[in-house]
Structures are given as C-alpha cells and as structure tokens.
C-alpha cells in the first residue's frame, strides 16, 4: 500500500521510520519531510497551512493511508477532505480537532462532561479578565484560546501581570488571532504527564506513557520550548493509574464527543497534571506529540499500519499495540539561541557515528540535505533517541550518541529523564 505522512519534524521522522518497518507498506511518501526523512521516504513539497496544497499532494499520491503529524492541517479539515475523496486518513475531523484548536471549547466540554480540570474563566476583553480575576488566587494561568505553537500560555505570578498578559494577547501582537479570546485557569501543582490513547470514535487503546521536558535548560529552567526531550518506561504510571485514566478521562472524552456529534478518531493526547486532588486535564492535543512520539514508537513492537487502520475502521481494541518492556529516551539537539532567534545552515557532523551506537536512532527534525551532507534548518534539529533494557542504559546510549554529533551552536539538555532515574 501507499502511505503518506504529512509534516516535517522529528515526530514525522519517527512515524516514517516505524511505518517503513511494516511489511504492508510498499511506498512511503512524506510531505514536506526534511533532510533525514528524505533517506527513508519520497519527500514532496507542500504548504501545510494551505488545504488546497495538501489536497493536491493527495491527488498526486492517491494514498491508501495518510498520517497527519501536526495539528494545523487537522484543524483545517484535511481528514474530512481526504476521506470525502476516498483516501483513508488517520486523525480527527475538523470538528473533533476543536478539542485542541480551541482551549475554551475544551474547557467547556470538560465541564459539561464532568471531567476533572482546573477552574477557569473564558474572557473576550480586558474588562472581563479584570472582573474574572476577582475569583482567582495568584498565580493565574493565562492561555490564548487558539493554536499558538506553545507560545500561548503564561503563568502570571500576580493578578496585575495576568491582566497585562491578557491585554497583550487581545492586542493580537503576542500570538495573533489565537489570543483574541483568553482562558484564565487556576494554577495546579504536581507532576505533568502525557497520556495518549488511540481512539476509533468509540473505544480507546492506551499508548505507553511518556514524559517530556518543555523548558530549555537543565533542572527545568529557562523559557518553554516545543520540547527538549522525552522518555518512556514501564513504570511512569502503574496499571491501576492507566485504567483510571482510561475510564475517567479518555473514555468520557471519546463518549462525550460522540454524543455531541463530533466523533473523535485518531490519537487523543491528554496533557495532565497529577495533583494532590487527582489527575486533571491541562489540555488536549489531537495528534501524536513531538518529541514524545520518538520514545513511544521506539517501544512499539507491533505493526503501526494495523493500529492506525483500526482507528479509521472503528475497530480499536487494547490488543492493537504490543510494547517492549525496554525503556527509551529522546534527547533534542537544538540550534544556538533556540527557543529565541537562531541561525540555520550549519553543517552537521558525526551523524553516522552517532547512529552506529547500539540501540540508537537519530531522528531529524530541522535538517536539510545538500550534496550528501546535512545542515541545520530549524530550532529543534535532531532527536537523538535510544532504547535499552533499562532507562539508565537508554540515557547513556543517547548521550553517547549526542557527544558524537557536532554543529555550530548545538545545545541540548544533559538531564533528560534524570528525575525519573532518581525516583
Ligand atoms: N492550570 C495549569 N496549572 C499549572 N500549569 C499549567 C496549567 N495549564 C498549563 N500549565 C503549564 O503550561 C504548559 C502549557 O500549557 P498547555 O495547556 O499544555 O498549552 P500548550 O501546550 O498549548 O502551550 C503546560 O505544559 C503546563 O506546564
Ligand atoms: Mg501542552
């Protein structure tokens, strides 16, 4: 069969790498892909912000299965358009993708279905924010309603700061249209957990848990990023917690969406805070996470095509995934200056040596290939990933590989999974 992956990051490289292992895949395309993906799939140019451009790629490939990496094409309705043309596509429809595309939609949905989440207020003006703040204690979380590529959430230490941040969001200067509506939330304390399930609109099958590292610096310091690393092990959560999350969060979401006429198919990514009062939903993503997908797929032993097709066809069951008991980790190597401004076009050296380390796979995120050499082409450049029987060994392998890779300005966190190993 012909499979098309949409996207150009480390997540999409991991999807391509895993899909290629399926005996059912005869031809693999990625649009637009990146330097590293080009070694494993045929890359096609596309503008992922433009639905017509994506449909044109579909018409060219006529894929038997399409896997959408990033959120934007999903919220534009790529799954609706592809399905309508008879090209099976994995992921939620435009209506179901609202769970990610609008934080106010998600909060009201959670409240309607009594799924645990932080108390909140939805505001459309600075006056509304000021009035609502009377019901909050500092710190207050201020969130832009729409998609903001990780730049739409500020934890304000005072109500004054919260009002200021909201004003900046409303001005459109901070995150554009995404900030024209704002959600205020009570600030929750606890460990964060990414809990992902595969859904067919009715049933869910949980993926193994993963934990990512959002801050740029060691010890969770410095500004937020798209994610500087992630790991996955057997014991991030136990079976009891997993079952609780399935029955009290994932299933109610899927049942609620169906009841409201917007069946959710695809990967439902629940961003959770594990508070003293129990797990609470921070947000939903309607797709695989980046970089969590890299360690998650490194532990997947069964055929990914079968699982994705089960979601489309409405026959998901717990047995769709076979997981390795191994641990896995992904360390993101980023361009100098990221998440601020950075330069691209730096030559990357040592990739072959890094890839030769036992259990290591180097996923490309922001790279391009010219005359047989790879160059940096984005903020997050590589996801150096490793699998091993235990977390410590996986971490050692990943860092051994990182040390072999060189490019001007390269930086990466030295403490990915360190807190988990201490526990
Ligand atoms: N209610 C909250 N309490 C405490 N921290 C929060 C809360 N909501 C969000 N955060 C923090 O902000 C980060 C980003 O928020 P999130 O809702 O996941 O938005 P996005 O991923 O779209 O930027 C979270 O990963 C978490 O660290
Ligand atoms: Mg998030």
Considering only CA atoms, which of 264, 259, 316, 254 is closest in space to residue 286?
Answer: 264
The dotted CATH code for 327-422 is: 3.90.600.10
Ligand 1 atom nearest 118 alpha carbon: 1
Fold classification of 119-186 is Dna Ligase; domain 1 (3.30.1490)
Q: What are phi and psi of 177, to 5 degrees?
A: -60, -25
Residue 149 pLDDT: 85
Residue 422 pLDDT: 84
* Below-50 pLDDT ranges, the chain: none
Beta bridge mates, 89: 66
How deeply is 423 buried, as exposed, middle or buried, from its count of CB atoms within 10 A (0-12, 13-18, 19+)? exposed
Q: How far is CA 15 from the centre of its chain?
A: 12
Ligand 1 atom nearest 150 alpha carbon: 23
Those residues whose beta carbon sits under 5 angstroms from the ion ligand 2 are 271
Protein residue with least CA distance to atom 15, ligand 1: 153
- Residue 65 corresponds to which tokens in the numbers above? 């299965």
Q: Which of 141, 224, 274, 275 to mutate to test the pocket of ligand 1 (most atoms within 8 A of CB)?
A: 141
Q: Compute the distance from residue 193 Cα to the ligand 1 centre, in Å.
A: 11
Q: Which residues line ligand 1 (CB under 6 A)?
A: 118, 141, 143, 150, 152-153, 155, 185, 187-188, 192, 214, 271, 273, 282-283
Q: Please list, in sequence order, all residues whose beta carbon lies within 8 angstroms of the beta carbon of residue 337, skipping any fewer than 6 positions away.
A: 343, 409
Q: Please list, in sequence order, all residues whose beta carbon lies within 8 angstroms of the beta carbon of residue 370, skipping any fewer than 6 positions away.
A: none
Measured CA to CA, the distance from residue 332 to residue 334 in angstroms comes to 6
Q: What is the pTM of this model?
A: 0.96
Tokens 């969001």 locate to 169
Residue 34 pLDDT: 98
Measured CA to CA, the distance from residue 375 to residue 349 in angstroms comes to 9
For 214-277, what is the HEC assignment?
A: CEEECCCEEEECCCCEEEECCCCCCHHHHHHHHHHHHHHHHHHHHHCCCCCEEEEEEEEEEECC
Q: Please list, in sequence order, all residues whose beta carbon lies within 8 angstroms of the beta carbon of residue 173, skipping any fewer than 6 positions away.
A: none
Q: Please list, in sequence order, all residues whose beta carbon lies within 8 angstroms of the beta carbon of residue 341, skipping any fewer than 6 positions away.
A: none
Ligand 1 atom nearest 214 alpha carbon: 25
Pairing of strands 65-68, 42-43: unpaired
- 207 — alpha (psi -120 to 50), left (phi > 0) or beta? beta
Residue 202 pLDDT: 97
CA distances for 301 relative to 153, 319, 400, angstroms: 36, 12, 24
Ligand 1 atom nearest 188 alpha carbon: 3
- The ligand with the least distance to the CA atom of 143 is 1
Q: Compute the distance from residue 269 Cα to the ligand 2 centre, in Å.
A: 9
Q: Please list, in sequence order, all residues whose beta carbon lies within 8 angstroms of the beta carbon of residue 385, skipping any fewer than 6 positions away.
A: 14, 294, 295, 298, 328, 329, 330, 331, 360, 361, 362, 363, 398
Q: How far is CA 237 from the centre of its chain?
A: 19
CA angle (341 as vertex; 5, 287 as ends), nearest 5: 25
Measured CA to CA, the distance from residue 99 to residue 107 in angstroms comes to 9
Q: How far is CA 309 from the centre of its chain?
A: 20
Ligand 1 atom nearest 147 alpha carbon: 22
Considering only CA atoms, which of 185, 189, 113 is closest in space to residue 145?
Answer: 185
User: For the chain, which residues make up each domain, given as ranges?
Assistant: 2-93, 119-186, 191-320, 327-422
Q: Strand runs (DSSP E) across 294-358, as ranges?
A: 327-334, 347-348
CA distances for 422 relative to 215, 330, 385, angstroms: 19, 18, 20
Considering only CA atoms, which of 35, 111, 81 is closest in space to residue 376?
Answer: 35
Instruction: Tell me if the domain spanning 2-93 has CATH number 3.40.309.10.
Output: no
The dotted CATH code for 191-320 is: 3.30.470.20
Considering only CA atoms, which of 88, 106, 104, 108 is closest in space to residue 96?
Answer: 106
Taking only the tens place, the pLDDT of each residue in 331-388 is 999 999 999 999 999 999 999 999 999 999 999 999 999 999 999 999 999 999 999 9
């Amino acid at each position: 069969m012909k499979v098309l992956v949409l996207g150009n990051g480390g997540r999409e490289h991991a999807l391509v790498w895993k899909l290629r292992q399926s005996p059912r895949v005869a031809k693999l395309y990625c649009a637009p892909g990146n330097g590293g993906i080009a070694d494993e799939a045929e890359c096609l140019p596309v503008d992922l912000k433009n639905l017509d451009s994506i449909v044109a790629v579909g018409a060219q490939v006529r894929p038997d299965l399409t896997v959408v990496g990033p959120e934007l094409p999903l919220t534009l309705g790529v799954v609706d358009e592809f399905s309508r043309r008879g090209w099976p596509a994995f992921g939620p429809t435009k209506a179901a993708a609202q769970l990610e595309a609008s934080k106010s939609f998600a909060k009201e949905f959670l409240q309607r279905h009594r799924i645990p989440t932080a108390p909140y207020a939805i505001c459309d003006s600075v006056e509304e924010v000021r009035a609502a703040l009377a019901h909050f204690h500092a710190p207050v979380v201020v969130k832009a309603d729409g998609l903001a590529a990780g730049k739409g959430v500020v934890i304000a230490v005072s109500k004054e700061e919260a009002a200021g941040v909201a004003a900046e969001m409303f001005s459109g200067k901070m995150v554009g249209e995404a900030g024209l509506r704002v959600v205020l939330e009570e600030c929750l304390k606890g460990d964060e957990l990414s809990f992902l399930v595969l859904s067919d609109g009715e049933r869910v099958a949980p993926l193994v848990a993963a934990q990512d590292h959002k801050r740029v610096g060691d010890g969770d310091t410095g500004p937020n990023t798209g994610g500087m690393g992630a790991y996955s092990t057997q014991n991030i959560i136990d079976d009891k917690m997993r079952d609780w999350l399935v029955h009290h969060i994932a299933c109610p979401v899927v049942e609620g969406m169906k009841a409201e006429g917007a069946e959710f198919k695809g990967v439902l990514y629940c961003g959770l805070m594990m508070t003293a009062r129990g797990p609470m939903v921070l947000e939903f993503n309607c797709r695989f996470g980046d970089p969590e997908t890299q360690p998650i797929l490194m532990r997947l032993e069964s055929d990914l095509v079968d699982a994705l097709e089960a979601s489309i066809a409405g026959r998901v069951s717990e047995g769709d995934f076979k997981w390795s008991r191994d641990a896995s980790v992904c360390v993101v190597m980023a361009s100098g200056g990221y998440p601020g401004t950075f330069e691209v076009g730096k030559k990357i050296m040592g990739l072959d040596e890094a890839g030769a380390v036992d259990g290591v796979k180097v996923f490309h995120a922001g790279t391009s290939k010219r005359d047989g050499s790879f160059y940096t082409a984005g903020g997050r450049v590589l996801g150096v990933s490793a699998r091993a029987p235990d977390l410590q060994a996986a971490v050692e392998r990943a860092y051994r590989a990182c040390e072999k890779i060189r490019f001007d300005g390269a930086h990466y966190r030295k403490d990915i999974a360190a807190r988990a190993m201490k526990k």
